[in-house]
């Protein structure tokens, strides 16, 4: 049973400067919903209500977003805007959210290590704070189901073009089914022609608590940071790890082009925007 989730959200967001100079990249909205709210909602939809967010300097807006705002709620009540009043209360009550600050930007592995006291000796979910999953069954729930079946750590993966494997952490191993692979290796951003597959790590994990000891033993890798992929390679020497090919679409909000694409896709799915926005796009393309 997975009861806790960890959401790393401590990155500096340099690819979105100048917007992220004073605003966390995880608060960049897809239309009117901050990216990290989609991530928290996925955890909640998967049945997890105990969530630890790993934040960093300048990330206070994330805490404020999930906190009560009594002045705003009172103003909405005065305006008899019951729908938004209810939504603001739901947002503040959607989960038990805790925060801890990563003191230095030492990589994803280091960020996860900050969760060790909160997690204790339980397996836990990890959801990257700048990645949105669009799926019928929440991707975290998909991984939880695989964990219950196989009993080891599980990594979400997706196929990527062979000429782009050097941008991702890549896994290799033995297929157990159309969606499950038992891993034999993980490589962070392999050189073209050396990757064991074209299955890239997709920003969702179920990890056993042994990962913390592995992080302690992980030297700094690419970029001078503690790479979670390197720590998981150490974990693989101790226990079986499985990859789950996700059913759904991953949206990486970590770069501007994908952010724009995601905004367009989500706008076309919103009833109030779909038709006029589609017409607008058609008019733009016609020019």
The model's pLDDT over 238-270, given as tens digits with 9 standing for 90+, comes to: 999 999 999 999 998 878 899 999 999 999 999
- Per the structure, the count of domains in the chain is 1
pLDDT in tens, 35-75: 999 999 999 999 999 999 999 888 889 999 999 888 888 88
The reply to whether 277 falls in a domain is no
Does residue 283 lie in a domain region? no
**CATH code for the domain in which residue 210 is found:** 3.90.550.10
Q: Residue 96 and residue 87: Cα distance in Å, rounded? A: 17
For residue 280, tell me if it sits in a domain.
no
Q: Nearest Cα to 205, choosing from 134, 154, 141?
A: 154
Does 275 fall in a domain?
no
8 Å CB contact between 144 and 125: yes
Q: Find the domain containing 113 and state its range.
A: 4-254
Q: Model-level pTM?
A: 0.92
Establish if 261 belongs to a structural domain: no
Is pLDDT at 88 greater than 90 in this prediction?
Answer: no
pLDDT in tens, 134-186: 999 999 999 999 999 999 999 999 999 888 888 888 999 999 999 999 999 99
Tell me, yes or no, whether 259 lies in a domain: no
**Domain annotation covers residue 279:** no
Is 287 part of any domain? Answer: no
């Amino acid at each position: 049973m997975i009861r806790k989730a960890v959401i790393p959200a401590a990155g500096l967001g340099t690819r979105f400067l100048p917007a992220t100079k004073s605003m966390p990249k995880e608060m960049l909205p897809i239309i009117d919903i901050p990216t990290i709210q989609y991530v928290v909602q996925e955890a909640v939809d998967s049945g997890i209500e105990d969530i630890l967010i790993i934040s960093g300097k300048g990330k206070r807006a994330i805490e404020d977003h999930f906190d009560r705002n009594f002045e705003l709620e009172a103003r909405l009540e005065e305006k008899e805007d019951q729908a938004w009043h209810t939504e603001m209360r739901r947002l503040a009550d959607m989960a038990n959210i805790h925060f801890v600050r990563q003191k230095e930007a030492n990589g994803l592995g280091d960020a996860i290590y900050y969760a060790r006291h909160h997690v204790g000796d339980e397996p836990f979910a990890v959801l990257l704070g700048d990645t949105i999953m669009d799926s019928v069954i929440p991707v975290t729930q998909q991984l939880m189901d695989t964990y219950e079946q196989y009993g080891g750590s599980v990594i979400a993966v997706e196929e990527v073009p062979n000429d782009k494997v050097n941008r991702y952490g890549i896994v290799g191993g033995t297929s157990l089914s159309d969606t499950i692979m038992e891993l034999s290796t993980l490589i962070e951003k392999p050189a073209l022609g050396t990757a064991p597959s074209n299955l890239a790590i997709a920003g969702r994990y179920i990890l056993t608590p042994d990962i913390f000891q592995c992080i302690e033993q992980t030297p700094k890798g690419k970029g001078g940071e503690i790479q979670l992929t390197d720590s998981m390679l150490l974990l693989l020497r101790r226990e079986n790890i499985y990859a789950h090919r996700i059913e759904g679409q991953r949206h990486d909000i970590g770069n501007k082009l994908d952010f724009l694409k995601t905004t367009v896709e989500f706008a076309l799915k919103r009833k109030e925007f779909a038709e006029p926005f589609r017409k607008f796009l058609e008019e733009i393309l016609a020019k």
